[in-house]
């Protein structure tokens, strides 16, 4: 997730405005910043790694000349957060400049093709193929306008993009296009603006034109023309008046970051499916060779590791130890060796406990692998190989999209390892891969159809002093995560454990009306889970269940239920089944008048042990 901004002004300089607007997009990424303007037939460009204020102090982003320009604030995915990888990126001759938010999945193939045709690349980014592809298209079709060349070039891009292009070849235009990454236009009497998000131009104008997926835009000082990429049809669109306050706008109109981040999970999950094969192969090779594998993390990331231990075991027959990072050194420090592999999982890549486990393992010569959201974080620097979960900045203290994104990556790793080891049939492999592709749509459907129901459940149980969250098998990880969410933002003490454990102690807490939430995918433990529900029900518990659609057996014995679409393989079930639990915690916090984004005593990134 990066932020892009551009403008064509009638009066005034573009660069200070782009600089100011990029600051409003910094929540989308802050690894590097860059601006390019057009003035008297030349491109003026400044870019560097670091936060906008730091880069501005060094290079003064405001003194570029010209009324037209584009800029970018980066969240690194392909290529480290270095100056060389910062946007804007240029073609060989420095005539075409591009900023881009998204991931070009086929960039390696395109890069090879372009290199074979004499193009020289300077960065490690996927984006750099775009200016070269436009340049190459113009070379092959000298009669083309800039817009024709961009139009032709983007048809060859696979993946997600919101991009903006300027060129000295036609210095009065900005060309943009969108596929799966956000892009909006703003308009006022002084010009046209493009941005990843409305807040970027809200102080300048409240008139916005939404660009849809699969659309292409030519902006000049006289106006903007929107075309559908598939058939070149011209799309007529009038500006809408946006009546959000600046604070609402940063949250895209949602009242809290947490709900925004829950709702954006379908798109972040789609992003996780774009991870380069190369990284999945490399990490699964290390896992395959290890004598013992430790999955080390804290909080939500630990719950993802717990679920992953079931994935690796069931799909690749690889036993792993999921370990709380804060316990790693005490529990396993002495048994770690040169033959051990540690897969450290951390959204921030900066959690002190996780990093200290890594240090302990490094001292014993173990191999360190990382899964994180923040490329350039300490974890990426200390890992032999790391992989990015690609879910964009998470602002809410409660990790939501982190859990589902990490799980999606870990499931892909388990599948890759399974393939390497030949452990499951091709049919099963194909089925799981297909289902994984469907998960983003399934999550979208759950949010669309079940959120209101969950809200009502939160209202009904807002009296509760304690909650149980129970599941069997991989669903016990989902239960732990649901319980953590409810505790941390709604301050409701809640206890999670594998459902089979209840009769070994916790069931003594049950009295009439005690809410017990069961996670019930239709897997191998379904029948036993029904017995666990009956044990609770017999003692007066109120049963809330997260079930598959049409699971009448559990519906009948539940006081309340939330339905998940049918046919999700057990191994992938934590991804959709956790979503109602995230929503439950969110609505419970609201019921109690709490701000879910800023729970007391907690920090987004815990950098102390």
Enumerate the active-site residues.
Answer: 2, 604
Smaller CB distance to ligand M6R: residue 348 or 502? 348
Does 358 participate in binding ligand M6R (rule CB under 6 A)? no
Residue 530 near ligand M6R by CB under 6 A:
no
Tokens coding 114: 């372009």
Cα within 13 Å of Cα(475), Cβ side:
27
- 352 counts as binding ligand M6R under rule CB under 6 A: no
Neighbours of 179 (CB within 10 A): 20
Q: What is the Cα–Cα distance from 102 to 74, expressed in whole angstroms?
A: 10
Nearest to 551 by CA among 588, 587, 577, 575: 577
Does 383 sit near ligand M6R (CB under 6 A)?
Answer: no
601 burial (CB, 10 Å; 0-12 / 13-18 / 19+) is: exposed
CB nearest ligand M6R: which residue?
Answer: 299
Residues 407 and 64: their CA atoms lie apart, in Å, by 44
Question: Can you list the alpha helix ranges (DSSP code H) found in 426-504?
Answer: 426-460, 475-490
Q: How far apart are CA 159 and CA 146, in angstroms?
A: 22
Indicate the residue among 316 and 345 with the shorter CB distance to ligand M6R: 345
How many chain residues touch ligand M6R (CB under 6 A)? 17
User: Does 376 contact ligand M6R by CB under 6 A?
Assistant: no
Least separation in angstroms between residue 302's CB and ligand M6R is: 7
The position carrying tokens 């835009």 is 217
Residues 174, 194 contacting (CB under 8 angstroms): yes
**Which residues, in sequence order, are CB contacts of 255 under 8 Å at separation 6+?**
248
Q: What residues numbered 41-80 form the site for ligand M6R, per CB under 6 A?
A: none
How far apart are alpha carbons 415 and 431 in whole angstroms? 11
354 binds ligand M6R (CB under 6 A): yes
By the rule CB under 6 A, 342 interacts with ligand M6R: no
Q: Which stretch binds ligand M6R (CB under 6 A): 36-44, 344-352, 384-392, 543-551?
A: 344-352
Q: Residue 550 class from Cβ within 10 Å (0-12 exposed, 13-18 middle, 19+ buried)?
A: exposed
Q: Which region among 102-110, 113-121, 345-353, 492-500 touches ligand M6R (by CB under 6 A)?
A: 345-353
Q: Of 154-162, 260-268, 283-291, 601-609, which segment contacts ligand M6R by CB under 6 A?
A: 601-609
User: Which of residues 488 and 551 has its CB atom nearest to ligand M6R in the complex?
Assistant: 488
Residue 64 or 298: the one with the smaller Cβ distance to ligand M6R is 298
Q: Name the CA radius of gyration of the chain, rounded.
A: 25
Residue 186's nearest CA partner among 194, 196, 178, 197 is 194
Q: Which is nearer to ligand M6R, 351 or 542 (CB)?
A: 351
Residue of the chain from 85, 348, 418, 542 that contacts ligand M6R (CB under 6 A): 348
Establish if 341 lies at the interface with ligand M6R (CB under 6 A): no
Contact set for ligand M6R, span 482-521 (CB under 6 A): 484, 488
DSSP type of residue 224:
E
Give the whole-angstrom CA distance, residue 33 versus residue 52: 6
Subset of residues 396 to 435 that bind ligand M6R, contact rule: CB under 6 A = 397-399
> Mask of contacts with ligand M6R, 283-322, x by CB under 6 A?
---------------xxxx---------------------
367 binds ligand M6R (CB under 6 A): no
Site string for ligand M6R, 76-115 (x = CB under 6 A): ----------------------------------------
From the list 44, 73, 271, 346, which residue makes contact with ligand M6R (rule: CB under 6 A)?
346
How far is 477 from 498, CA to CA, in rounded Å? Answer: 8
Q: How far is the CB of 601 from ligand M6R (least distance, A)?
A: 11
Q: Which class for 495: exposed (0-12), middle (13-18), buried (19 or more C-beta within 10 A)? A: middle
CB of 340 to ligand M6R, least distance (A): 20
Q: Which residues bind ligand M6R (CB under 6 A)?
A: 298-301, 346-348, 351, 354, 397-399, 484, 488, 602, 605-606
């Amino acid at each position: 997730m990066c932020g892009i901004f551009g403008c064509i002004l009638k009066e005034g300089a573009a660069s200070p405005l782009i600089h100011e607007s990029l600051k409003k997009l910094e929540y989308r990424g802050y690894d590097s910043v860059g601006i390019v303007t057009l003035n008297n037939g030349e491109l003026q460009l400044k870019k560097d790694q670091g936060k906008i204020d730091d880069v501005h102090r060094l290079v003064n982003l405001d003194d570029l000349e010209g009324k037209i320009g584009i800029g970018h604030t980066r969240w690194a995915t392909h290529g480290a957060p270095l100056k060389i990888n910062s946007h804007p990126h240029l073609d060989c001759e420095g005539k075409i400049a591009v900023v881009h938010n998204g991931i070009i999945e086929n960039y390696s193939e395109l890069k090879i093709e372009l290199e074979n045709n004499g193009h020289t690349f300077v960065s490690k980014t996927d984006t750099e193929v775009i200016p070269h592809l436009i340049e190459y298209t113009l070379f092959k079709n000298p009669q083309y306008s800039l817009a024709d060349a961009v139009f032709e070039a983007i048809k060859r891009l696979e993946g997600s993009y919101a991009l903006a292009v300027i060129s000295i070849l036609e210095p009065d235009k900005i060309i943009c296009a969108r596929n799966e990454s956000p892009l909006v236009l703003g308009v006022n009497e002084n010009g046209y603006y493009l941005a990843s998000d409305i807040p970027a131009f809200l102080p300048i104008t409240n008139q916005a034109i939404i660009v849809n997926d699969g659309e292409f835009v030519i902006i000049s000082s006289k106006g903007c023309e929107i075309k559908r990429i598939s058939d070149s049809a011209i799309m007529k669109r009038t500006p809408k008046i946006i009546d959000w306050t600046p604070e609402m706008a940063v949250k895209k109109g949602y009242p809290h970051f947490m709900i925004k981040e829950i709702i954006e999970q379908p798109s972040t999950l789609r992003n996780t499916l774009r991870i380069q094969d190369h990284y999945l192969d490399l990490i699964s090779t290390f896992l395959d060779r290890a004598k013992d594998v430790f999955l080390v993390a804290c909080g939500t990331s630990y719950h993802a590791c717990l679920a992953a231990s079931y994935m690796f075991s069931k799909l690749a027959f690889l036993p792993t130890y999921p370990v709380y990072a804060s316990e790693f050194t005490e529990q396993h420090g002495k048994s770690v060796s040169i033959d051990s592999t540690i897969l450290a999982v951390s959204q921030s890549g900066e959690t002190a406990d996780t990093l200290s486990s890594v240090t302990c393992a490094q001292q014993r010569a173990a191999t360190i692998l990382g899964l994180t959201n923040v490329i350039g974080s300490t974890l990426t620097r200390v890992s032999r190989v790391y992989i990015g979960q690609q879910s964009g900045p998470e602002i809410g203290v409660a990790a939501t999209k982190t859990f589902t994104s990490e799980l999606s990556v870990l499931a892909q790793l388990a599948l890759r390892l399974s393939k390497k080891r030949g452990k499951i049939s091709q049919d099963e492999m194909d089925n799981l891969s297909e289902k994984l592709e469907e998960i983003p749509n399934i999550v979208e459907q759950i949010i669309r159809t079940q959120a209101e129901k969950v809200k009502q459940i939160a209202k009904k149980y807002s009296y509760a002093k304690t909650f149980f969250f129970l599941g069997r098998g991989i669903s016990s990880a989902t239960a732990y995560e649901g319980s953590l969410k409810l505790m941390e933002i709604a301050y409701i003490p809640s206890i999670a454990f594998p459902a089979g454990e209840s009769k070994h102690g916790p069931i003594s807490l049950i009295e009439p009306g005690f809410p017990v939430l069961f996670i019930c995918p239709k897997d191998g433990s379904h029948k036993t889970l029904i017995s666990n529900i009956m044990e609770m029900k017999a003692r007066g518990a109120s049963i809330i269940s997260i079930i598959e659609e049409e699971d009448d057996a559990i519906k009948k014995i539940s006081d309340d239920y939330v339905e998940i679409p049918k046919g999700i393989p057990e191994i992938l079930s934590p991804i959709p089944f956790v979503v109602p639990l995230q929503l439950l915690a969110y609505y419970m916090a609201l019921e109690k008048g709490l701000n879910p984004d800023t729970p007391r005593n907690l920090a987004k990134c815990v950098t102390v042990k």
